[in-house]
Structure formats: structure tokens, C-alpha cells
Amino acid sequence: MDNNWEKNSSLVAAGMYNPIVFKRITKSWKADELVPYLNNFYPELEKHLNASFDTKIDILRIFKNWEQQNDFIAKTEDDNYSEFINSEECKTLDKNKVENNFGYGTVTQSGWINTKLMLSKYRQFLEKEALILNEKFDFDSLKVETEKITYKEVTANKIIFCEGTQIQQNPYFNYLPMVPTQGEILTIKIENLSMDKILNKGFFIMPLGNNLYRVGATYNWKISHYETTEEAKAELIEKIKTVLPQEFEIVNHQAGIRPTVKDRKPLIGVHPEYKNLGVFNGMGTKGILIAPYFANHFSEFLEGSFELEKEVNIDRFKP
């Protein structure tokens, strides 16, 4: 069931996956497990949906100072990082007059998912198979019994809520510490730029093809609406100018709300009292990287294969 398609944050998300945390040049949480799973999952999903939405593309991390450069280069000499980063020369930056006075490093096994296309194709599949109800979920129509749950004419063993920020209106799981984070992105057009890498300098510039680039993203914990703001637009414009000398045209400006969690870990598990009510939420800014692995992990838990990892289990939060 989909009760809020138009407010799905994944429709707005840039859809990037990146195995490195740039702040301290460390691997993303569980990167050694998540990346191999991702590399198998999305190609299989593309085959299943007969669509192409996974773009493999390196990220060029542009350093702001010598300290960042030194930290990055030091990690390239660590065998634990060799499959994810390197300091090989890339002539693309100078060719396009991209500001990189302190140099840059390359992140591999990265890319982006066209989330809008992927979700649209998957929704079409569900509709074709009559596996989705296009209506707002009515909690008053949900009956929870020991051995089953009933929702109108539907009976099942379990129900799993995957609501994003709408979990705050869920009477069974609204105790979980969701911290919605509003973010905004721009789509710009640049005629005289030819980039085949994602640029990152505390923000990203991602090539989409046809002279279009996506730029983002802002973070605002004080805003809870889906409207774009002039402040965020101005912030992103200023950041673009610190990297690119070219003139550009803004062709789109979007906003979404990320389902982030207080401890930056997913919310996965079953209700402490009603064991046939589950939740899969809180993927946050790393959702493209995290979700495939933990969707499989959760499904195997529900089938009784093993226990949930403690770091993601909602048992860490008490109602």
C-alpha cells in the first residue's frame, strides 16, 4: 500500500551511493558488506524491471586545504581502503577549469540510482500484478490479533510499515526518534562543461547527461515542509561558483525530507508488544547504499533465520 507517493523523499533524492565518509576519510558504516551486496542487487532489479537506472561513476573529492589532501593520500596507502579510493591523475578537472588548488582524490565503486525511474517502474510492476493499493492507510481499519492482522479485506501474518517521515503519525511506532531533515537540490544546465565524474567539495555536482547536472544538497533540521526556499537556492549557487567558472541556468529546484534517525542508524524490527507489526525505516542519507542489504537481512529475520543486528534493531529504543 502506498499512502503518500507524492511526498516520497526518494523521488527527489539524488540517489548517490558512496562508500566513503569525507569528513574523516573513513569507510561508510559496513561498506565492506553493503557495497558488494549493492553491486549485485541493482543490476538484478534492472533485469527484473527491464529498465536501466544504475549509473556507475567515480567521485572526485576536491580538497579545501592541505590537511584534507594529506588525510586522503594517507588513506590511499592503506590496503583496507585500496578498493575504494586512489590518487590517480584525472585531466577532466583542468580541462573544464574546475577549481582544485589543493588537489583531489578519486572514490571508486560509487555512482547514482535514478530513484524516480526505479520507483516508477517498480510501482508499474506492482500495479500489473495487483499487489498495491493506491489509497491512504487507515489505522482505524487495522485489526491486530495474536496470529494475524486484518486490514479491510486483506488478511496477513504480518504488516511492515515503510513510511519514511510519516512514521510520526503511526500510532504504533511514533515513539521512535525520527529526526526529519529537509534538503534541497538544484538541476542546472551548463553548455560548456564536459564532466564524466561526480564532483564533491562538501556538496556535489553530478552529471546527468545532455548538459544537465544535479547539485546538492542542503541540510535543514528546522524546516518540516516540502517547499523550496530562496535561502537554500542561494546557498547552492554560491557553492557552485566556488568550483565552476562557467555560467549556468537553473532548470529545476526541488525539496524533500529525509527520514533520519537520532543515532544515524536504520529503524528495523518488530513492535515490542505486537510481534506481527514490523517497521523498516530511517535509511537517511545513505539509503541507496543501506536499504538493499538490510531489506534482505530483515526478511531473513522475519523468516526465522537469525536475529537482527543490534545496531539497527528498534529494541535499542524503548516506547
Residue 310 has pLDDT above 60, yes or no: yes
pTM over 0.85: yes
Task: Determine the angle formed by the axes of helices 31-49 and 115-128, rounding to 10 degrees.
Answer: 50
Contact by Cβ (8 Å): 84, 64: no
pLDDT at site 295 = 97
pLDDT at site 1 = 63
pLDDT band per the 50, 70, 90 thresholds, residue 9? low
- 181-258, CATH topology level: D-Amino Acid Oxidase; Chain A, domain 2 (3.30.9)
pLDDT band per the 50, 70, 90 thresholds, residue 255? very high
Residue 90: C-alpha distances to residues 62, 71, 107, 180, 241 (Å): 12, 19, 12, 37, 21
Task: Determine the angle formed by the axes of helices 31-49 and 287-302, rounding to 10 degrees.
Answer: 90
Count of CB atoms within 10 A of residue 170's CB?
18
| Across 26-30, 221-225, 309-313, least confident range | 221-225
Q: What's the chain's length in residues?
A: 319
pLDDT at site 226 = 86
Grid coordinates in use for 173? 511506532
| Percent above pLDDT 90 for the chain | 83
Please state, rounded to an integer, the average pLDDT across all residues of the chain: 93
Q: Cell match 542487487: residue?
A: 41
Give the separation between CA 108 and CA 112, rounded to whole angstroms.
12
- Name which of 253, 258, 134 is nearest 184 in CA terms: 253
pLDDT digits (tens, 9 = 90+) for 94-110: 889 999 999 999 999 99
pLDDT at site 318 = 84
For 298-315, what is the mean pLDDT? 94
pLDDT digits (tens, 9 = 90+) for 233-247: 999 999 999 999 999
- Domain ranges in the chain are 5-116, 181-258
pLDDT digits (tens, 9 = 90+) for 110-142: 999 999 999 999 999 999 999 998 889 999 999
pLDDT band per the 50, 70, 90 thresholds, residue 4? low
Residue 199 has pLDDT above 80, yes or no: yes
pLDDT at site 147 = 87
pLDDT band per the 50, 70, 90 thresholds, residue 253? very high
* Complete edge-to-edge strand list for the sheet that includes strand 204-209: 85-86, 104-107, 59-62, 198-200, 204-209, 212-216, 181-189, 249-258
pLDDT at site 6 = 53
| Across 157-166, 206-215, 222-231, 269-278, least confident range | 222-231
Count of CB atoms within 10 A of residue 227's CB?
8
Give the separation between CA 133 and CA 60, rounded to whole angstroms.
42
pLDDT digits (tens, 9 = 90+) for 22-76: 988 999 999 999 999 999 999 999 999 999 999 999 999 999 999 999 999 999 9
pLDDT at site 223 = 78
Residue 89 has pLDDT above 60, yes or no: yes
Give the separation between CA 135 and CA 201, rounded to whole angstroms.
41
pLDDT at site 173 = 97
